[in-house]
Chain A
Amino acid sequence: MNSKAITRAAAATIVLIAAATISSELSAAFKQLLSTIGSHHWIGKSVLSVVFFGLLYLVFTKVSDDSFTLKDTGLLIGTVFTSGLAILIFYVMHA
């Protein structure tokens, strides 16, 4: 297993979840597309998050060496808090 690749895949997937969440509220067509993937837009996002995590790991394995450092984890944790905050601010403004 490539530690750097899986950490980068996790960060990219979390950004994609936040982007899909906000985009689905702004575009009815995208929300409908997500509902087509699952029977509900939230299921669509859940399925996509698993699929993208796997696919992005494969992509990052090709481009990353396995020199895993604390900086990679710091980047991921920063992504978690930024994405979470983006979702929170969006729904507060959107409500």
Chain B
Amino acid sequence: MFMVNPLILIHAVCAEIGLFAFLWVLVELLNPSETRIARAQVAALAGFACLFFAWLVGGFYYVEVYGLHVKPLINASDAKWVHSIVMEVKEHIFLFLPILASLTAALLYKYDGELINNRDARVSIVLLAGVIFLLGFSIAGMGAIISSGYRFALMTGMT
């Protein structure tokens, strides 16, 4: 029977909460006020913390579980491309997210109340939060393809 490793669940849930936190940042800054900026700062900090935790958990799973048990199965199947393209792209593009998240949080705290009148800083944060959300959910989609590739490898290995 196909069992999902709990580390994958923790990695995916933390990452998705982090991504939605940045969507929240984007929405708060569309029409900013002192209160909305304060909420966006909390959301950005929480989002960064979630993405950082997802990085640690996902990294541990990738090195200790995926590389030893999942990768060999996928590579031995007809879905080898799932590792050689999708996983390789996912694991490396993911490294962009903590950098973008920390930058977005830093800009929010630096400009603070100034964001109401500073259009360049406000639009920058909105764009960065949007990029984090879109890039993150592209990565989540790749994660779903990898899970399907693993299931395919298990099923074809059994027949």
Contact = CB atoms under 8 A, between A and B. Distances in A.
Contacts of B67: 40
Of the four ranges (under 10, 10 to 19, 20 to 34, 35 or more), the interface on chain B belongs to 20 to 34
A92 interface: yes
Secondary structure of the B side of the interface? helix
Interface string A9-37: 01001100110010000000000000000
B3 interface: no
B130 to A, nearest CB: 9
Interface string A25-69: 000000000000001101101100110010000000000000011
A84 B138 CA distance: 11
Most buried by A among B96, B98, B127, B128: B96
A21 B92 contact: yes
A95 B85 contact: yes
B125 to A, nearest CB: 9
B128 A73 contact: yes
Interface in B101-137: 102-103, 106-107, 110-111, 119-121, 123-124, 127-128, 131, 135
Interface of A: 1, 3, 6-7, 10, 13-14, 17-18, 21, 39-40, 42-43, 45-46, 49-50, 53, 68-70, 72-73, 76-77, 80, 83-84, 87-88, 91-92, 94-95
